[in-house]
A = this chain, B = another copy of it.
Amino acid sequence: MTYPIVGMVGGGQLARMTQQAAIPLGVRLRVLAAAPEESAAQVVGDVFLGDEADLEDLRAFARGCDVLTFDHEHVPTGHLRALEADGTKVRPGPDALVHAQDKGVMREKLAAIGVPCPRNRIVADPADVAAFADEVGGWPVVLKTVRGGYDGKGVWVVRDAAQAEVPFQAGVPVLAEEKVDFARELAACVVRSPHGQAVAYPVVESVQVDGICHEVIAPAPDLSEERATEAQRIALTIAGELGVTGHLAVELFETRDGRILVNELAMRPHNSGHWTIDGAVTSQFENHLRAVLDLPLGDPRARAKWTVMVNVLGGDYPDMYHAYLHVMARDPGVKVHMYGKDVKPGRKVGHVTVCGDDLDDVRERAGHAAAYLRGSITE
Closest to A21 in B: B20
**How distant is A346 from chain B, measured CB to nearest CB, in Å?**
19
Cβ 8 A contact of A19, one of B1, B43, B325, B336: B43
A1-34 to B contact mask, C-beta < 8 Å, 1/0:
1111000000000001101101111101000000
Cβ 8 A contact of A3, one of B22, B44, B296, B340: B340
Interface assignment of A339: CB less than 8 Å from any CB of chain B? yes
Interface assignment of A150: CB less than 8 Å from any CB of chain B? no
| Docked CA distance A214–B11 (Å) | 38
| Docked CA distance A77–B227 (Å) | 63
**Stretch of A140-148, A200-208, A237-245, A326-334 contacting B (4+ beta carbons < 8 Å):** A326-334
**Stretch of A55-63, A119-127, A161-169, A314-322 contacting B (4+ beta carbons < 8 Å):** A314-322
Q: Does the CB pair B26–A23 fall under 8 Å?
A: no
| Docked CA distance A17–B24 (Å) | 8
Interface assignment of A88: CB less than 8 Å from any CB of chain B? no
Residue among A26, A28, A42, A299 facing the most chain B CB atoms (10 A cut-off)? A26
Q: Does the CB pair A298–B328 fall under 8 Å?
A: yes
Report B-chain residues with C-beta under 8 Å of the C-beta of A321. Answer: 2-4, 26
Q: Does the CB pair B24–A338 fall under 8 Å?
A: yes
Cβ 8 A contact of A318, one of B2, B318, B325: B2
Report B-chain residues with C-beta under 8 Å of the C-beta of A296. Answer: 324-325, 328-329, 332
A278-302 to B contact mask, C-beta < 8 Å, 1/0:
0001100000001000011111000
**How distant is A96 from chain B, measured CB to nearest CB, in Å?**
23
Cβ 8 A contact of A24, one of B42, B281, B318, B337: B337
Q: Give me 17 A-to-B residue pairs in the complex whose CB atoms sit less than 8 angstroms apart, sorted by A's number.
A: A2-B321, A2-B322, A3-B340, A20-B20, A22-B43, A24-B336, A25-B336, A26-B320, A26-B336, A26-B340, A43-B44, A45-B45, A282-B332, A290-B328, A295-B325, A296-B324, A298-B332
The residues of A with any CB-CB pair to B shorter than 8 Å are 1-4, 16-17, 19-20, 22-26, 28, 41-45, 47, 199, 277, 281-282, 290, 295-299, 303-304, 318-322, 324-325, 328-329, 332-333, 335-340, 342, 350, 355
